[in-house]
Homo-oligomer: A and B are copies of this chain.
Amino acid sequence: MTKQSLHNFFEPKSAAIIGASATPGKLGYIAVNNLLRIGYEGKIYPVNPKGGEVLGLKVYKNVKDIPEIVDVALVLIPAAFVIDVMKDFAKKGVKNVVISTGGFSEVDEKGAEMEKEIVRIAKEAGIRIMGPNTTGVISFPAKFTTTFTNIKELRVGGASYVAQTGNFGSITLQWILSRENFGVSRVIGLGNKCDVDDADVIEYLGEDPVTKSIGMYVEGLKDGRRFIDAAKKVVRKKPILVLKSGRTKAGARAAASHTASIAADDDIVDSALKQAGVIRVKNYGDLVSFSKAFNFQPPPGSNKIGVITPSGGLGVCTSDALESMGLSITTFSEKTIKRLEEITPPLVKVGNPFDIWPAVSNHGVEKCYAVGLEAILDDPNVDGVLAGFMQSPGVSELKNVDFLINIMKKHSNKPVVAYCTGEWTLVEELRKTFETHPEIRVPVYEFPEQASEVLSAMHRYAEAVNRFR
């Protein structure tokens, strides 16, 4: 028997909220309210033995009374009552359950026993459980959520996240929506992983047409081997970025007390992830910032990078960064050099990095970037570009990037990653212009080293895909 699909967790046509409440501020109220507010279009069935109404919706006293078999149920009632409601689900035929309630295996032996019983009931009835002790799911394409996060904007995009912490469904999502310009598809908090685990979820996201990249925050893997096997398959289709924390002794101690994760030899974890083609990131913020590039640009066909620099010093820093991260500052073809020389003053030597600055006073910023980027992208020795920008009021200001549309289109298989420094307001404007332009979507970072790291991660991903071919 194949397992019940996870699909209904993410695209449910109907949802029951077990423990719904009419009292503002209570979780059972927030959960219903959130669904209404983000415009969930499926049926919502609040459940509470007290009956009555919640936010204008009829409250059912029991799961059995709901006039249909709901696609998904969210459980908010105290741990002690969860076993009974699981039995109701089994009778009714509900197959996908998010248990938000805590107080199970993460707390004590008694909780662990209850969790076992829940799993037993689920297995017998073919129910899939997410949790317990989780905020569950946010599914942007379905306008569906089981979390308590106040989502202000549903910006649908390709970035999905799986986390062993509530952060990605809450504070980090708020960061992404308010600070970044990329969209989100599914966000999943796995909690105690009594049934649905990391491997299940990446398999689902691997097949999910909306998801373009998967970012994961992992403190511990229950079944490392199964995860690695699943990852190997998914990586052929889309990148998986993993932040595996607890890699130091202090980190492992903190992870043990946070999610009861068992410490693993980090070298073994590292090599297993590498073998699976998973991109391991070391910083929490990288899960956010790397996703941007993977969603906007293709990975480079090789490690041969062309660099456009707005200053000599930043060109040196960029070269250091790229080379130390396994990328190559390629040698431009003679034809490229000639094209770049055409805009560069006679005494200045042209090479890679191409320093835009000497050319700017004669030709203006726009023309220099147009000629420079086109020549470099045209070069067969180049498979990706790192371009630096400086926004200085009245000296080098780029407002519009439409002049790059055709150049980018011509080489849509070669990634362009940028950084931009200078006057903050102008920098922010240019970043927004680049990142939101539907025909350009160049990810912009603050300094060359971060842009280089991203390009290096994209290259490692391309290599993994090639390896699996």
Contacting pair A245 B422 (CB below 8 A) = no
Whether A251 and B423, one on each chain, are in contact in the complex, defined by CB atoms closer than 8 angstroms, is no
Specify which chain B residues have a CB less than 8 angstroms from the CB of A421 in the assembled complex: 171-172, 175
Q: How large is the interface on A (under 10, 10 to 19, 20 to 34, 35 or more residues)?
A: 35 or more
Given A172-B421, A283-B447, A421-B171: A255 and B166 within 8 A (CB)?
no
Asked if A284 and B449 make an inter-chain contact with CB atoms under 8 angstroms apart, the answer reads: yes
Bound-complex Cα distance A283 to B329 (A):
18
Contact A255 B316, beta carbon cutoff 8 Å: yes
* Chain B residues, CB < 8 A from A427: 175, 179
| Chain B residue with Cβ nearest A166 | B311
Q: Hey, what's the 0/1 contact readout for A150-179 against B, CB within 8 Å counting as 1?
A: 100000000000011111001110110011
A347 is an interface residue with CB less than 8 A from chain B: yes
A266 nearest in chain B by CB position = B320
- A449 close to B319 (CB less than 8 A): no
Would B313 and A163 count as touching, CB distance under 8 A?
A: yes
Contact with B along A133-163 (1 / 0, CB 8 A): 0000000000000000010000000000001
Q: Judge whether A258 is part of the interface by a CB distance below 8 angstroms.
A: yes
User: What separation, in Å, do the CA atoms of A243 and B318 have in the docked complex?
Assistant: 13
Residues on B with C-beta less than 8 A from A323 are 248-251
Q: Does A24 belong to the interface (CB within 8 Å)?
A: no
A376 to chain B, nearest CB (A): 15
List B contacts of A12 (CB < 8 A). none
A314 to B422, CA, bound (A): 31
- The reply to whether the CB of A38 lies closer than 8 angstroms to some CB of chain B is no
Chain A, residues 299-338, CB within 8 Å of chain B (1/0): the string is: 0000000000011111111111111100011000000000
| Pair B313/A394 contact, Cβ less than 8 Å | no
**A182 interfacial by beta-carbon distance below 8 Å:** no
Task: Give the distance in Å from the alpha carbon of A250 to the alpha carbon of B450 in the complex.
Answer: 18
Complex CA distance for A227 and B355, rounded to whole angstroms: 29
A284 CB contact (under 8 Å) in B174, B390, B447: B447
Cβ contact within 8 Å between B284 and A248:
no
Interface pair A259/B312, CB less than 8 Å apart: yes
Question: Would you call A349 an interface residue if the criterion is a C-beta within 8 Å of the partner chain's C-beta atoms?
Answer: yes
Contact between chains at B258 and A313 (CB < 8 Å): yes
Determine whether A446 belongs to the interface, using a CB cutoff of 8 Å to chain B: yes
Inter-subunit contact B247/A313 (CB<8 Å): no
Tell me, rounded to whole Å, the shortest Cβ–Cβ distance linking A80 to chain B: 15
Interfacial chain B residues near A390, Cβ < 8 Å: 171
CB distance from A424 to the nearest CB of B (A): 4
In the complex, how many angstroms separate the beta carbon of A263 from the nearest chain B beta carbon?
A: 11
Give A9-31 interface residues, CB cut-off 8 Å to B: none
Q: How far is the CA of A213 from the CA of B171 in the complex (A)?
A: 34
Q: Does A443 contact B (CB under 8 A)?
A: no
Closest chain-B Cβ to A416's Cβ sits at a distance in Å of 19
A-B CB contact pairs (8 Å), 17 listed: A150-B392, A150-B394, A163-B313, A167-B311, A171-B311, A175-B422, A175-B423, A179-B427, A245-B320, A251-B317, A254-B312, A254-B319, A254-B353, A255-B316, A257-B312, A258-B313, A283-B447
